[in-house]
Structure 1
Amino acid sequence: MLPLALCTLLGLLGRAVARPASYAVWGADSAIARGQGNGLDNGVPLVNYPDGEFQWALRHLLDRTGNQSYYDYILEGANNIVYDNGTVHGSYNLSAYVLDPIRTGPTFLYLYEKTDDAKWKTAAQTYRTQLNSHPRTAEGQFWHKLIYPNQGWLDGIYMGDVFYATWTAMLDANNHTAWADITRQFQLIFDHNIQIPIIDANYTGLLYHGYDYSHVAVWASPDRGHSPEVWDRALGWYMMALVDTIELAPSTSGLLKPTLLTLLNILAPPLRDAADPTTGAWWLVLTQPGRAGNYFESSGAMMFVYALLKAVRLGYVPDVDGSIVAAAKKGYEYAIANWVIDNGDGTMSWNNTVLVGSLNLAGDFDYYISQPVDIDDLKGLAAFVLASLEYELL
């Protein structure tokens, strides 16, 4: 028989390495244990869009679990990039006119709602002010970055327009001009990037990564200036932006909600059909399924699972035959079997997230597949938490 002290120690060790029953909790707790998503990069403040994505997931997890530690972590992360007077500091530079940092804006508005501390409204106002002067195409699309003139990327809708809609809903709900502008952002990017049958090779019915209104980028197509491929994470950003913005759109938002519902219902069926029929996973480059060098990528896949399940759950997309939910479930279960790594210490790691995808080079197949694959990349892990929250509601 083992001594009592040893039995006690073994029992404590067993509890220490036990993983939560919820994958959403496990994923979030593991990221927190590694210090991810807290507004710091090696101790240096960093205004970072994956942090905003992760904080969005933590808000939903807090609502589901009531675990106050998630709120505390959101607050800690935001405090690391905002001074007490509301100044956003660290890596933020308004004059660079980049949409990516604005993804942290919904966190500021969330904290303002929770605390009524003017600091957070001031911080959010910084981003709202940026949008007032942010460069646009002649049609009104926000440039993704100042250094990419006249380019609209799907990524930017998630980064900038979810905040734009959150600000307007919370603080300026009767601003019909703003609501029309947000609607235009979603519609313009769709019109320029949607694949057209017969005209477009490797047709999927989905959206190209981005477009150049001026048609001068090396990758711009001659017809609408779009990029050559459908990249999974860019489409994932857009799909998440659709379902999240529909959810927060008030009755005063005019055509926003019906427009976004229309776009979502156009995209959901081909997105379901783009999943690999054998595994249920989605390819990194959706326009080149099975091509040598292509692979199943984890961040875009989890964004798709989140968006599709949320769309069906909230009644945004009909799923009469259950095929949309079935596709999302199959994709999620592939992720559990292939991308979740049990570290044996109570935490998990997340695999197969492509580090980056940009339109600063050729934007072609060879570019996308040449980018490094990361482990524990927060862009993918945050999406996994969101997808897990939806899957666990099933």
Structure 2
Amino acid sequence: MRFILPVLAAGVATATPLAIMADSFIKRGVPSTINYSQMTLYGGFELAYNLTGDEKYASWYRSQIDALVLNDGTIKGWDYGKYSLDNYRMGNNLLYWYWKTGEAKYKSAASIVRQQINRHPRTATGGFWHRNPEYPNQMWLDGIFMADSFYAKWTKYFDEKNTTAWDDIALQYDNIEAHTRNAKTGLLVHGYDESKVAVWADPVTGAAPLVWNRAVGWYFMALLEVIQVWPQSHPARGRLIGYFTTLATALKKTQDESGGWWLIMDRKYAGAKGNYIESSGSAMFTYGFLKGIKLGLLDRDQYLAPAQKGYNLLADKYVVEKDDGTVDWEGTVEVGSLNSNATFEVTLPKDPDEDENADILQYYTSVPLAVNDYKGAGPFMYASYEIETL
């Protein structure tokens, strides 16, 4: 559907794409869990509230978080022995409610996540394992978004003079850059295995073979989040901005003429059988362009037109109006994982006459699409906010 952009009534935006999407999820309901997918969606509710001032968005969002945070500041069902970066994303949402309400229970809950980061297993060079014990010595682009934005926000507001912490956060970005960035294309592959033993790992570099769009999208957004809280005086600031702007350049070059981005972004797979324009990564990149312009990191003259083209595709193709007045979000792949048990070849055995990475491509493109997936709808809401406040 093509959205009509905001109508202003008494200074309040009404019937905006962002508000319509938020209203739709409230009506459908969202299970309250610590999953990063929900936490990503909830970020859109923060923006819906900022845009409209409508307390229903804050009230609904808070009820979702309060179903997880107990009055004593503990997190319902939190497993202190589980070390998965995915679970740390909720720290950002907990800090939002602490800053908004001043209630100690939210800070206490966030401190549980922060302390878990201190204990999290690391590679020999200091990078966080994506998950223990499933992915030993592996760093994924996804994990940077899940853990390091929160790590930086906590340090900014509660431990700002801790240069060791800032150095440690920078190390996570530096590690992922050193092992996954392709200097020629400017894009980053999904992750790397520092021990180089995973079935997919390059025997020399440990890098994964392919560029998966949502992993790159998580990383693109994580850079934006961390740059906004990074100390001006810390030497890594310039590096982080460079990581963001060089990635933006690469993304502008790989944007499809439709306005979106391919699920598998390696140039030789653009248009390949089974590959397709995927909505979550496209929303993340569109948002990143718009937010980068707003923060002064990207040139408006170069990036606004690609961003608007991307947004028009998202609104026209992936937002579907329903008879009950709600909208569905479509075109988001359910998952993409660097699973280390060789299941990449399950769907179709590797054909020795085909490209050596054909089995990996088949893994990614064989994963089904989901309707109303929070990992895509959330970033679309972020992009909508940026469009609506341009």
Scaled by the length of structure 1, what TM-score is found? 0.88
> Residue 223 of structure 1 corresponds to which residue in structure 2?
204
> Residue 149 of structure 1 corresponds to which residue in structure 2?
136
Correspondence 1:222-241 to 2 at 5 A: 222-241=203-222
AA of the residue aligned to 1:206:
L
Are 2:376 and 1:375 aligned?
no
AA of the residue aligned to 1:27:
M
> Residue 129 of structure 1 corresponds to which residue in structure 2?
115
AA of the residue aligned to 2:131:
K
Structure 1 residue runs of 5 or longer lacking an equivalent are: 1-19, 40-45, 198-203
AA of the residue aligned to 1:273:
K
1:193–1:210 Cα contact (<8 Å) kept? yes
1:94–1:130 Cα contact (<8 Å) kept? yes
Structure 2 residue runs of 5 or longer lacking an equivalent are: 1-13, 345-358
Are 2:271 and 1:285 aligned?
no
- 1:284-331 CA-to-partner distances (Å, cap 9, x unmatched) read 111121100001100010000111110112101234xx2322111111
Are 2:157 and 1:170 aligned?
yes
Partners of 2:80 and 2:207 in 1: CA distance: 27
Offset, 1:134: 0.3
Partners of 1:323 and 1:205 in 2: CA distance: 17
Are 2:250 and 1:270 aligned?
yes
- 1:75-103 CA-to-partner distances (Å, cap 9, x unmatched) read 1111111211111123x323120011111
Are 2:353 and 1:359 aligned?
no
Secondary structure of 2:72's counterpart equals: coil
Are 2:284 and 1:328 aligned?
no
- 1:10-45 CA-to-partner distances (Å, cap 9, x unmatched) read xxxxxxxxxx63111111111121112x52xxxxxx
Offset, 1:223: 2.7
Secondary structure of 1:265's counterpart equals: helix
> Residue 249 of structure 1 corresponds to which residue in structure 2?
230
AA of the residue aligned to 2:296:
G
Percent of matched pairs sharing the same residue: 43
Secondary structure of 1:94's counterpart equals: coil
> Residue 159 of structure 1 corresponds to which residue in structure 2?
146
Partners of 1:110 and 1:239 in 2: CA distance: 21
Secondary structure of 1:211's counterpart equals: strand
Partners of 1:226 and 1:73 in 2: CA distance: 42
Are 2:368 and 1:389 aligned?
no
Correspondence 1:159-198 to 2 at 5 A: 159-197=146-184
- 1:227-251 CA-to-partner distances (Å, cap 9, x unmatched) read 1110010000000111111122244
Partners of 2:135 and 2:98 in 1: CA distance: 33
Offset, 1:205: 2.1
71-80 vs 128-137, greater mean Cα deviation: 71-80
1:298–1:351 Cα contact (<8 Å) kept? yes
Secondary structure of 2:145's counterpart equals: helix
- 1:339-362 CA-to-partner distances (Å, cap 9, x unmatched) read 110002221000010000000043
Partners of 2:56 and 2:169 in 1: CA distance: 34
Partners of 2:235 and 2:27 in 1: CA distance: 43
Partners of 1:310 and 1:167 in 2: CA distance: 22
Aligned residues: 358
> Residue 11 of structure 2 corresponds to which residue in structure 1?
none
Secondary structure of 1:290's counterpart equals: coil
Scaled by the length of structure 2, what TM-score is found? 0.88
Runs of 4+ residues over 6 Å off in structure 1: none
Partners of 1:248 and 1:105 in 2: CA distance: 15
Are 2:25 and 1:31 aligned?
yes
Offset, 1:68: 1.4
1:180–1:255 Cα contact (<8 Å) kept? no
